[in-house]
Amino acid sequence: MSQQKVTVRILDRDYHFACSDEERPSLIQAAEHLDTTMREIKAGNSTLVPEQVAIMAALNISHDLMQCRNSNQIYSGSVSQQIHDLRQTLEAALKENASDLSA
């Protein structure tokens, strides 16, 4: 896996990273999301220094990530329960079909 140099611009500053070709699109997308979030925060409070903007953006993005994880856990639990219920229904139908064939 070869490493390529990638440059992203966040709040008018360039940052250089090395990443694989496969990671490149998601790194660029993440940088664009971070830049947008930081610009929105900066627009709402122009007195914040860049470090404060970065911390607020990190907190906002972390909060969003935690909400997504919680939603995924709830969804995963629901899907697991549905699979369990379907398996029981299928097993009951198979047992009934097997007993009908043996009779």
DSSP 52-79: HHHHHHHHHHHHHHHHHHHHHHHHHHHH
Q: What mean pLDDT comes out for the span 63-72?
A: 90
pLDDT higher at 37 or 2: 37
State the sign of the Cα–Cα–Cα–Cα dihedral 91, 94, 100, 103. Answer: negative
Cα dist. 85→3, 74, 78, 79, 90 in Å?
47, 17, 11, 10, 9
Residue range 4-37, pLDDT digits in tens: 999 999 999 999 999 999 999 999 999 999 999 9
pLDDT over 90 at 95, yes or no: no
So what's the pLDDT on residue 78?
81
Q: What mean pLDDT comes out for the span 50-72?
A: 93
Domain that holds residue 63: 3-102
Give the H or E element holding residue 47: none
What pTM did the predictor assign?
Answer: 0.68
Distance CA 27, CA 46 (A): 27
So what's the pLDDT on residue 7?
96
CATH of the domain at 65: 3.30.160.880
So what's the pLDDT on residue 2?
81
The answer to whether 5 touches 16, Cβ cutoff 8 Å, is: yes
Q: Which residues on adjacent β-strands are paired with residue 13?
A: 10
**Number of domains forming the structure of the chain:** 1
